Amino acid sequence: MINKTGINIDLKDRVALVTGSSSGLGMEIAKYLAKSGATVAIHYHSQKQPADQVANEINSNGGKAKVFGGDVSNRAEVESIFKSIDVELGPLDILVNNAGIDGKRQLCGEDNPDDWENVIAVDLMGPYYCAREAVKRMKKAGHGVIINITSVHEYIPWSGYTAYSSAKAGLSMFTKTLAQEVSELGIRVVSVAPGAIKTPINKDVWGNPTTSKDLMTKISMPRMGETSDIAEAVAFMASDMASYITGTTLVVDGGMLLYPAFKHGG
Ligand code: NAD
C-alpha cells in the first residue's frame, strides 16, 4: 500500500495477528496491515460482531482476514488462538500486542487489588503469553516481528493509574529484553507508544468539553492523534523498511513527551 506520504509498505505474503482488533487502534491497525498486503487474524475478546464486520470489510476489499476470539489474560485461550491461526492462516509473521485496558481511576491504598491485578493480567501477562507463542513459531521460520503497543505512560507517571503505567513501563522493558534474547533468530521486537488517540478507551475525556480542553494543554501539537497515525507507524515497524530496528520504542504522541507546559517559557 502507498501511504499518504507516497511510501510503499509491502506486507504481501505475511500473516499478522492484531489482538483487540474489534475496536479502536487495533481495528485501524488490522485494516492498514491488510491494505498493505498482509493476511490478518482479527482478534476479539467479547464482541464477535464488530470483529466480523472488520473481517468482512477487509475480505470484500480484496484482502484476507479471519476472526479469532479469546481472552489474552488466559494462557490456555491464547494457546488455542495461536493453534487455530496455524491451521487456518499458516505460520505467523507479525504479532501486534494491542489489546489493553486502562482500568478504573483509583488511588493506591483506596483501590481494589483485584482491579490492579486485572490490568496487569491484560496489559502485561497478555502480551507475554502472545509473544511466547509467537516466538515459538517465528524461531522455526527464522523471522518475525513482535510489536507491543505501550503508551506515553511507559514514560509519564499517571496518578490514579498505577497499574496501567506499571504495566506499560513493564511491557517496554519486556520489549527490550525479548529483543535482545531473539535478535540472533531473525526476530525483531519493538514498541509503539501512542499519546492521546481518539478511541473508545478515552471517550470520557475527549467526549467532555472540560476534560478535552485540559487534555489539549498536554499535547504540543494542536490536535489529538487519529487511529491512522498509529496504524501507519505500526505498518512501518512491521515492514522490512524497519529491518534494522529492534528493542526500542517509537513514540507517536504529537509531542506529549515534550513537556508542553514549558512551551511559552517559565
Ligand atoms: P479500545 O478500548 O478501543 O481497544 C482495546 C481492545 O482491547 C478492545 O478491542 C478490547 O476488546 C481488547 N481487550 C480488552 N481486554 C481484553 C482481554 N482480556 N482479552 C483480549 N482482548 C481484550 O482502546 P484503544 O485505544 O484502541 O487501545 C488499544 C491499545 O492502545 C491499548 O493497549 C491501549 O492501552 C493503547 N493505548 C491507547 C491510547 C489511546 O489514546 N487510545 C494511548 C496509549 C496507549
What is the pLDDT averaged over residues 125-135? 99
Domain membership of residue 266 (yes or no) is no
Task: Answer whether residue 155 shows pLDDT above 90.
Answer: yes
Ligand 1 center–CA 20 separation, angstroms: 6
DSSP conformation letters of 32-91: HHHHTT-EEEEEESS-HHHHHHHHHHHHHTT-EEEEEE--TT-HHHHHHHHHHHHHHT-S
Ligand 1 center–CA 197 separation, angstroms: 11
Nearest CA to ligand 1 atom 8: 20
What is the pLDDT averaged over residues 241-247? 98
Nearest CA to ligand 1 atom 19: 71
Domain membership of residue 118 (yes or no) is yes
Torsion region of 224: left, alpha or beta (phi above 0 gives left; psi -120 to 50 gives alpha):
beta
**pLDDT at residue 176, rounded to an integer:** 99
Domain membership of residue 87 (yes or no) is yes
- C-alpha 80/C-alpha 66 separation (Å) is 15
Q: Which domain holds residue 52?
A: 15-254
Summarised one tens digit per residue, pLDDT across range 139-148 is 999 999 999 9
In angstroms and rounded to an integer, the radius of gyration of the C-alpha atoms of the chain is: 18
Task: Answer whether residue 41 shows pLDDT above 90.
Answer: yes
pLDDT interval class at 236 (50, 70, 90): very high
**pLDDT at residue 266, rounded to an integer:** 81
Q: What is each CA distance from 15 to 55, 61, 138, in whole angstroms?
A: 14, 17, 11
Per DSSP, helices labelled H in the chain are 24-35, 48-60, 75-88, 113-120, 126-141, 162-182, 203-206, 209-216, 227-238
Domain membership of residue 1 (yes or no) is no
**pLDDT at residue 5, rounded to an integer:** 65
**pLDDT at residue 2, rounded to an integer:** 66
Domain membership of residue 26 (yes or no) is yes
Ligand 1 center–CA 265 separation, angstroms: 35
Summarised one tens digit per residue, pLDDT across range 73-129 is 999 999 999 999 999 999 999 999 999 999 999 999 999 999 999 999 999 999 999
| The overall pTM is greater than 0.85 | yes
| Averaged pLDDT score across all residues of the chain | 97
Nearest CA to ligand 1 atom 32: 100
Q: At what angle do helices 48-60 and 24-35 cross, to 10 degrees?
A: 20
Residues with CB under 6 A from ligand 1: 19-20, 22-26, 44-45, 71-73, 98-101, 122, 149, 151, 194, 196-197, 199-202
The b-or-e profile of 52-65 (16+ CB within 10 A means b, else e) is eebbebbeeeebeb
- Percent pLDDT > 90 in the chain is 95
- Total domains in the chain come to 1
Task: Answer whether residue 221 shows pLDDT above 90.
Answer: yes
Domain membership of residue 262 (yes or no) is no
Domain membership of residue 139 (yes or no) is yes
What is the pLDDT averaged over residues 128-153? 98
Summarised one tens digit per residue, pLDDT across range 3-24 is 766 778 999 999 999 999 999 9
What is the pLDDT averaged over residues 172-179? 99
CATH number at residue 177: 3.40.50.720
**pLDDT at residue 8, rounded to an integer:** 83
C-alpha cell at 18: 492484531
Domain membership of residue 186 (yes or no) is yes
Ligand 1 center–CA 200 separation, angstroms: 9
- C-alpha 136/C-alpha 9 separation (Å) is 26
